Structure 1
Amino acid sequence: MTTIPIYRVDPDVRRAGTLDAAFYRDEAAYAAALETVFARSWQWIGDLRDVAAPGTLAPRWLLPGSLDEPILLSRDARGQLRCLSNVCTHRGNILVHECTRAEQIRCGYHSRRFDLAGRMTFMPEFQQAECFPSDNDHLVQVPFEDWHGLGFASVKPAAPLAEVFAEMESRIGWLPLRDWRHDPSRDRSFEFDAHWALYVENYLEGLHIPFLHAGLMQTLDFNQYSYELGRYANLQLALAKPGEPAFALPADSIDAGKSVAAYYWWVFPNLMLNFYPWGLSLNQVQPLGPGRTRVVFRSYVGDASRLGTGAGGDLDRVEMEDEAVVVQVQRGVRSRFYRGGRYSPTREQGVHHFHRLLAEHLAD
């Protein structure tokens, strides 16, 4: 049996050292994280507009490239939406391959059939099978939540989605996210040679912004850049320089009176929800191996007239700047001489929070 090191991170950021560099190199730690971190967290599975109509089936993959769990969104005739396993309970065939309208789910291999709630209703040549059907012959119901029109699923969530998103919901729940529209022309997917956690770490600290992102520094008031930590999520609050685009905040917002350029929300372990005056840039980090990562970008536009301006005005350029340095860090953490570093108590609280959560989950 393969064992992984016990990772510990001091709860006091002023004393703490970062994760041991072995974490980024260890195949066993990577495999353990898939089960203890990713399988137990909520993963974004796309927006839900393609399953708006009753009688619709829409297949998804839960965290493609790593968990690779085939799941199926199914809206029955009464309009109830469920998330089911997309694997036939007979011999493991994938059931549905593309979005479709249907009155039942039928396996193309041996014609086992299920209703849209996942209950098996028909199977040929099983008349002599004893104790059949049983609960094991129905499709597994996968934990699933609809958050403002975005779908989230999990293998075995460590906490309810409402708890995970609690701080974010209370802060920006007033935004009409369900009314914003996905803009496919702005879809992006990038793959690069680096450990997934290095990319997350880079996102979670503003320390590098003055040195890597000259364009962002033109729009943000870096002296007012701040961090707020929750249980499973944290916020980087970016205020705008005078004259730069900012949110029109409601009077009862906790941020009323501030010139907010962006809300950079991170949700453990691999989701970034970046809210700008024009809308939402959603980023999902998808591990492909200990040294390979994919990042998927989706844009949901609320005010197209503000696209191309402010902190969210040139996301492709910022991404290229981030990827370039993360790839270099990947090469560095593989050095025989690098063991780990320290945290900036003022600028790297988010990285410390992330490492604490990783250590907590890996210990389970």
Structure 2
Amino acid sequence: MDLSDFTFEPQLARASTIPARWYTDPAMLETESRKVFGRTWQAVGRRDAVAAPGSYLASEITGEPVLVTRDAEGTLRAFSNVCRHRGSLLAEGCGQAPVIRCPYHAWTYSLDGRLHGQPEFEGVENWDRSQICLPPYQVAEWGPFVFVNQDPQAPPLAEVLGAIPREAAEIGCRMDQLRFSARRDYVIECNWKVYIDNYLEGYHLPAAHPSLFRELDYAQYRVETFRYYSSQIAPIRAQTGEGGRRYAYADSSNRALYYWIFPNFMLNVYPDNMSSNLILPLGPDRTLTIFEWFAYGGAEVAQATIDFSDEIQQEDIKICESVQRGLKSRNYSQGRFSVKRENGVHHFHGLLAEFVGS
């Protein structure tokens, strides 16, 4: 794909946004699938799905089938979820099995990815069974999540996360104790980058999110950018009088942390719960957003918290779908950034340009 219509400007005050075509052209999504999603850490499922030895989890990354297993010794591994014989998918969903069995011709693979058995395959020449294995991927666990990276040269997940684990712990979030509580899926008629752009700035809070705006101390709201992620620091406004907050917090830290991890994963961290947003492109103008909530032990996230999140999400859906329609206009090509409020979007566009251009 020709990307000559955009050169990233590192100086925010001089920079323009990525071109409208990057949000609408199917060829751009194909490029992103290979160069962005195929080379970054992607959340593929929850850790509890592969907690036990002998368990597996099938997922995909922009159409590329992936398989996560935990072998009998407890080692977590990830592979291509495609049989080396005739290309059938090997597994679906999650479960437990001593081997992975292809549903097409019953070839089997050990949980370490090696070929285990292939019925009625005698007489094949120039074929070394010992060399047949599922192509491996990088895999890592953090908190309640499992991540996979298809690029063997990519930096480890811990390097990508940077200070996020420490900072979350400092406000009372105990990642290893979080347990799944609820999930909501939203299909939005916009490009995945429109949704990311929207998440990465608080500039629209006063106009678009009146309830959330009342919760947060907007004057102190700031975005800090790092190599592969950004954080939005949002102090929770002191409440006086009747009514109180829409959220209830377990301690007095009165802080909320909002993290975006390039390219498509967000964490919303509070002292007594956490939610994640996974943004998956379904097409150049269609996106699946998966919200999951996590709480401690067997506790449930309060329904009021989920309802409030849904209220904000519905407001964002309306905005993002409006933006997508506007990006198709002949009268729009690029925009400029608010130096005070949109450094997070500028940071995202820089990383995107880096990955698609390399």
- Give TM-score scaled by structure 1 length: 0.89
Cα shift at 1:241: 1.2
CA contact (8 A) 1:89 1:136 kept: no
Give the direction of change, closer, same or farther, for the CA distance of 1:197–1:222 in structure 2 (3 Å limit): same
**Paired residue for 2:107?**
112
CA contact (8 A) 2:294 2:301 kept: no
Q: Deviations over 1:194-239 (max 9, x none)?
A: 1110110000000000001110122111101111111010000100
Cα shift at 1:108: 2.5
Cα shift at 1:126: 2.7
**Which of 193, 214, 220 is 1:197 aligned to?**
193
Cα shift at 1:187: 1.0
Cα shift at 1:248: 4.1
Task: Tell me the amino acid that sits aligned with residue 218 of structure 1.
Answer: R
Give the direction of change, closer, same or farther, for the CA distance of 1:337–1:318 in structure 2 (3 Å limit): same
Task: Tell me the amino acid that sits aligned with residue 161 of structure 2.
Answer: F
**Which of 225, 231, 236 is 1:240 aligned to?**
236
| d(CA) in 2 for partners of 1:284, 1:306 | 18
**Paired residue for 2:242?**
none
Task: Tell me the amino acid that sits aligned with residue 68 of structure 1.
Answer: G
Give the direction of change, closer, same or farther, for the CA distance of 1:222–1:308 in structure 2 (3 Å limit): farther
Which of structure 1's runs of 4+ aligned residues deviate more than 3 A? 2-6, 243-249, 303-310
Q: For 1:75-86, what aligned pairs fall within 5 Å after superposition?
A: 75-86=70-81
| d(CA) in 1 for partners of 2:2, 2:332 | 22
**Paired residue for 1:266?**
260
Matched, 1:299 2:293: yes
Matched, 1:151 2:150: no
| d(CA) in 2 for partners of 1:291, 1:329 | 11
Cα shift at 1:129: 2.2
**Paired residue for 1:181?**
179
Q: Percent identity?
A: 37
Cα shift at 1:159: 2.5
Give the direction of change, closer, same or farther, for the CA distance of 1:346–1:218 in structure 2 (3 Å limit): same
Q: Deviations over 1:111-157 (max 9, x none)?
A: 22222211112222333223433565211222111112310012216
**Which of 114, 117, 121 is 2:116 aligned to?**
121
Give the direction of change, closer, same or farther, for the CA distance of 1:306–1:45 in structure 2 (3 Å limit): closer
| d(CA) in 2 for partners of 1:16, 1:119 | 50
Give the direction of change, closer, same or farther, for the CA distance of 1:100–1:306 in structure 2 (3 Å limit): closer
Where structure 1 has 5 or more consecutive residues not aligned to the other structure, the ranges are 250-257
| d(CA) in 2 for partners of 1:356, 1:200 | 13
Cα shift at 1:173: 4.1
- Give TM-score scaled by structure 2 length: 0.90
How many residues of Structure 1 are paired with residues of Structure 2 in the alignment?
Answer: 347
Where structure 2 has 5 or more consecutive residues not aligned to the other structure, the ranges are 240-244
Cα shift at 1:73: 2.0
Indicate the RMSD between aligned Cα atoms, in angstroms.
2.1
